[in-house]
Amino acid sequence: MKKAQMVIETSLRAGGTDPIFRIAGEAANRTKELGPEAVINSTIGALMDDDGELVTFKSVYDTLKGLPNHLIADYSGLAGQPDFLEKITEACFKNCKPEGYIRAVATPGGTGAVRHSFCNYTELGDTILLTDWYWAAYATIADENHRKVTTFPLYNEAGGFNLEGWKKSILKLLEKQQRVLTVLNTPAHNPTGYTISLEEWQAIKTFVTETATAQPTSKIILLVDLAYIDFAGEGDEARQFMKMLTGMPHNVLTLYAFSCSKGYTMYGLRNGAILCVAPTAEIADEFANACTYSNRGNWSNGTRGAMETITKIFGNDELYNQAMAEQSFYKSILRRRAAAFVEEANKIGLKMVTYCDGFFISIPCDKPQEVSSRLMENNTFVVALGKGLRFAPCAVSEEKCRRSPQLILDAIKEVEGR
């Protein structure tokens, strides 16, 4: 890399477009040139309808646009508007609110919540534990804030959560640092769609409890990233684990990163929260104070109109039911698309990692870049990751989801000769 001229050495960046945005740009150009029918664009991490238009919930946008101007324009409280904090807590836990001291602080999306947990719950230079398939922004947020990341393989041989690998990594980190923060992006993990099961959560809880008891001076922080929760499971199924994550030793803290981006189609409105389920009132207050201070020191207040929209939806039965009906309508479309892809992939022998729910399906391969480039020649755009390809049923019609596995398998065979 070049030498820094005016920026400090550690702020010297390679530049250029983010690889996902670059391939998305190419897909958009190809669509303009050849028309939407000829192109499979699975690069977008947002819910698109079958015509390739961004899905937006009418309940959300009618509410937002119906707000008086001053409720859109005004600043919000630094921690978020108090009524919003109450409603976002409902949105996060629904009927599965755990026992404990629960506090919420508004953040600009789940990204802000991830940032605050990394910065307030790990020391400078600490290493944060991620799964080996992970959302790339975790590493950016860690790096930007002078933290490191390490990974463990997400899957065991049976395609379930690799509990043993995760435990080993936690213990190893606790040998070299006082605290460990582990990010568990579940349900409907990005980029694989994996959801940690209740049995796996029970084993996680048991291990954390034993380890924290045996090492009383260490601290264990579970950051559960819920970005895709409202597209997982039926009813409250996907939230059942939350009731379990309580009653652990006082040196364990559970944090939740909640995002309104996907669940309420509010991507650009930057709305979400970080929540804690703390074992004591002091730990909960400390959390709220630290994260509110972090808000002030980073972006100050959140987006008032976005907060008011959620507050209004959760305060009015009719609006709430409308929003839930929209969520569930699109969840069933997403499920049909993903099921079409998985069924076809299984039929032709295209290997995937375990998919349960959500926006993305991952296909492991040795040369993802080359396979992605090969697919582009066929007007099929799939994101190349370090360990394979990320296909996005959230952005592709059912018919195209059914067609894609064969195209991907052919490209892998051509490039990798298998």
Ligand X SMILES: Cc1ncc(COP(=O)(O)O)c(C=O)c1O
**Which spans of this chain sit near ligand X (rule: CB under 6 A)?**
45, 109-111, 135, 185, 190, 225, 227, 259, 261, 267, 272
Query: Interior CA angle at 329 toward 229 and 398, to 5°?
Result: 95
What order of strands is seen across the sheet that includes strand 272-278?
Answer: 101-107, 272-278, 252-259, 219-225, 179-185, 127-131, 148-152
Taking alpha carbons only, the member of 133, 104, 143 closest to residue 274 is 104
Residue pair 202/240 in contact by the 8 Å Cβ criterion:
no
Q: Which residue number, 185 or 303, has a Cβ lying nearer to ligand X? A: 185
Smallest distance, Å, CB 124 to ligand X? 23
CA distance 25 to 43: 9
Residue pair 231/263 in contact by the 8 Å Cβ criterion:
yes
Residue pair 252/204 in contact by the 8 Å Cβ criterion:
no
Smallest distance, Å, CB 279 to ligand X? 25
Smallest distance, Å, CB 228 to ligand X? 7
Q: Which residue number, 111 or 195, has a Cβ lying nearer to ligand X? A: 111
Smallest distance, Å, CB 268 to ligand X? 9
Smallest distance, Å, CB 280 to ligand X? 28
Q: Which residue number, 111 or 122, has a Cβ lying nearer to ligand X? A: 111
Smallest distance, Å, CB 360 to ligand X? 8
Q: Which residue number, 112 or 405, has a Cβ lying nearer to ligand X? A: 112
* Residue of closest CB approach to ligand X: 109
300 burial level (CB within 10 Å; 0-12, 13-18, 19+): exposed
369 burial level (CB within 10 Å; 0-12, 13-18, 19+): middle
Q: Which residue number, 299 or 320, has a Cβ lying nearer to ligand X? A: 299
Smallest distance, Å, CB 209 to ligand X? 26
Smallest distance, Å, CB 392 to ligand X? 11
Residue pair 196/202 in contact by the 8 Å Cβ criterion:
no
Q: Which residue number, 111 or 211, has a Cβ lying nearer to ligand X? A: 111
CA distance 139 to 385: 14
Smallest distance, Å, CB 114 to ligand X? 6
Round to the nearest angstrom and report the end-to-end CA distance of the chain. Answer: 36
CA distance 197 to 42: 27
CA distance 105 to 284: 11
Q: Which residue number, 267 or 293, has a Cβ lying nearer to ligand X? A: 267
CA distance 390 to 377: 17
Q: Which residue number, 22 or 32, has a Cβ lying nearer to ligand X? A: 22
Q: Which residue number, 353 or 411, has a Cβ lying nearer to ligand X? A: 353
Residue by residue, DSSP assigns 342-363 as HHHHHHHT-------SSS-EEE
Smallest distance, Å, CB 134 to ligand X? 8
Smallest distance, Å, CB 416 to ligand X? 27
CA distance 361 to 350: 12
CA distance 270 to 302: 8
Q: Which residue number, 302 or 405, has a Cβ lying nearer to ligand X? A: 302
Q: Which residue number, 142 or 227, has a Cβ lying nearer to ligand X? A: 227
Taking alpha carbons only, the member of 67, 99, 88 closest to residue 315 is 88
Question: Which three-class secondary structure state does DSSP give residue 180?
Answer: strand
